[in-house]
Amino acid sequence: MARLSVDDYAGQAGGGDEGASEQVRIDDPGYLVGVPDEFQRLWTPHRMVYIQHGQQPGKDDCPFCVAPTMSDEDALIVARGKYAYALLNLFPYNSGHVLVCPYRHFALYDEATPEEVAEIGSITQTAMRVIREVSKNDGFNIGLNQGAIAGAGIAAHLHQHIVPRWAQDANFLPIIAKTKALPQLLGEVRKAIADAWPADEPADRSE
């Protein structure tokens, strides 16, 4: 269908009312912005918080210190141990992106106590097993970004990334558009992982 102008409409309507021709316009929908088409849109408005407010919080606003004071659901925590805990990344690379954090506020891995190192490792292993069970992923990226210069989003509080990977999860979106397709909401992912977490791991939940 060709685009219809004001004059076209006036002519179809009889063309006798100049006032009507100035107030009415009919367009072929193919020319209009927002008309449904074959493209799919990925909406990620939650990332505006990350983009607009920067990556480094103030010393008194560390999210990894605040999270344990909140409910598991509100903080996206999936498991709590004695020295460390696991929670979902609020800005995930993939669905099921888990962070393992010590409760104590420190920046670098070599500042961790032997007990913290042991429990971070134990929780990481359990998280891998649980994520594999829940998500049927094919592999993992696991790593610690040490310091802002190394890409740590929250540089002042140590946290280990556990990112599930699937054989087909690399496509044009992250490569060209810097966009990840995340098929599950964070609350749904948290519940699935928390429900599948073994009741006896971490075994010691005491203070």
Structure tokens at 157: 């509080």
Say if pTM beats, i.e. exceeds, 0.75: no
Q: CA 180, 185, 186, 190 torsion: positive or negative? A: negative
* Average model confidence (pLDDT) across the chain: 77
pLDDT at 9: 46
Q: List the one residue out of 203, 174, 191 whose CA is nearest residue 96.
A: 191
pLDDT at 134: 92
Q: What percentage of the chain reaches a pLDDT higher than 70?
A: 61
Q: Which among 46, 97, 157, 159 is annotated as catalytic?
A: 159
Find out whether 92 and 141 touch, Cβ atoms under 8 Å: no
Structure tokens at 28: 């072929």
pLDDT at 106: 95
The tens digit of pLDDT for each residue in 30-86 reads: 555 555 555 555 555 555 555 455 556 666 788 999 999 999 999 999 999 999 999
pLDDT at 140: 93
3-state class (DSSP) for residue 102: strand
Whether 159 is a known active-site residue: answer yes
* pLDDT higher than threshold 50 for residue 102: yes
